[in-house]
Structure 1
Amino acid sequence: MQTILDILKKAGGWHPGLYLKIDNAPYMELVIEAMDESGPMGLPAISVAHYGEQNGDLMRDPEMCFELGFAGGAHLDPWYWRNDYVAVEQWSRNIVRDHYVFLFQLHEQHVRFAKTWDNNLRLQGFSEVFDPHKHIRG
């Protein structure tokens, strides 16, 4: 997710309360926000989502949650995927009853999806249109 990391860097890095909303017509707006809770490994977490609207309700298309790690260089590791239009919600890494659960094949799917999505965001110019003076709230 190098495009998201580039945007985070332009925004001054991850911090509690981070909220970025990037309008880049004709594409769906992109929202990047710091999560109140840490990810499954206890690292800072962000939500990245495209939002659409259906019958007046905001719809994630998709949303992915990532932990922000720094070992070996800044990187984002996915653990959650959701798409409201198809009513699918998936955790590939999570804490369940005080135990770390890692679903290897699902995590690999999330990693592949994240790479494809990141390439699409790069090709669509989201990093280039991001202006920290216009797109940062909170």
Structure 2
Amino acid sequence: MQTILDILKKAGGWHPGLYLKIDNAPFMELVIEALDESGPMGLPALSVAHYGTQNGDAMRDPEMYFELGIGGGSHLNPFYWRNDYAGVEQWSRNIVGTNYVQLVELHQEHKRFAELWDRNLRQQGFAEAYEQHRKNRH
């Protein structure tokens, strides 16, 4: 998710209370926000989601949670995927009781999806849309 990392860098990095909403018509808005709780490895976590609406309700299409890692360079490691339109919610890494649980194949699927989503976000110009929004605010 290099596109998200690039946007985070321009926004001053991850911090509690981080909330970025990027409008980039004709695509669904993209929301990046810090989670109040750490990820399953105890690292800072964030939500990345496209939002649409259905019957007046906000719908995630999709939403993913990532831990922000710095070992070996900044990277985002997925642990959750949700799509409200499809009615699917998946945890590929989590703390269950006191145990760390990783569903290896599902985690690999989440990583592949994140790579595809990242390419789409880059091609759709979300980093440039965020930069333009920043310039218009100042």
Q: Same fold (TM over 0.5)?
A: yes
Read off the aligned partner of 2:134 and give its amino acid letter: H
Superposition deviation, residue 133 in structure 1 = 3.3
Aligned partner of 1:133 in structure 2 is 134
Superposition deviation, residue 129 in structure 1 = 1.1
Quick one: distance in 2 between partners of 1:106 and 1:135?
40
SS at match of 2:110: helix
Aligned partner of 2:28 in structure 1 is 28
Question: Structure 2 length normalisation: TM-score?
Answer: 0.96
Aligned partner of 1:115 in structure 2 is 115
Question: Structure 1 length normalisation: TM-score?
Answer: 0.96
The alignment status of 1:124 with 2:97, answered yes or no, reads: no
SS at match of 1:130: helix
SS at match of 1:64: strand
CA shift in 2, pair 1:49/1:5, >3 Å = same
**Identity over the aligned pairs, expressed in percent?**
75
Aligned partner of 1:2 in structure 2 is 2
Runs of 5+ unmatched residues, structure 1:
none
> 1:53-83: per-residue Cα shift (whole Å, max 9, x none)?
0001000000000000000000000000000
> 1:24-65: per-residue Cα shift (whole Å, max 9, x none)?
000000000000000000000000000000001000000000
Report the number of matched residues: 136
SS at match of 1:72: coil
Runs of 5+ unmatched residues, structure 2:
none
SS at match of 1:63: strand
Quick one: distance in 2 between partners of 1:16 and 1:135?
24
Q: List aligned pairs for 1:3-82, cutoff 5 A.
A: 3-82=3-82
Superposition deviation, residue 84 in structure 1 = 0.1
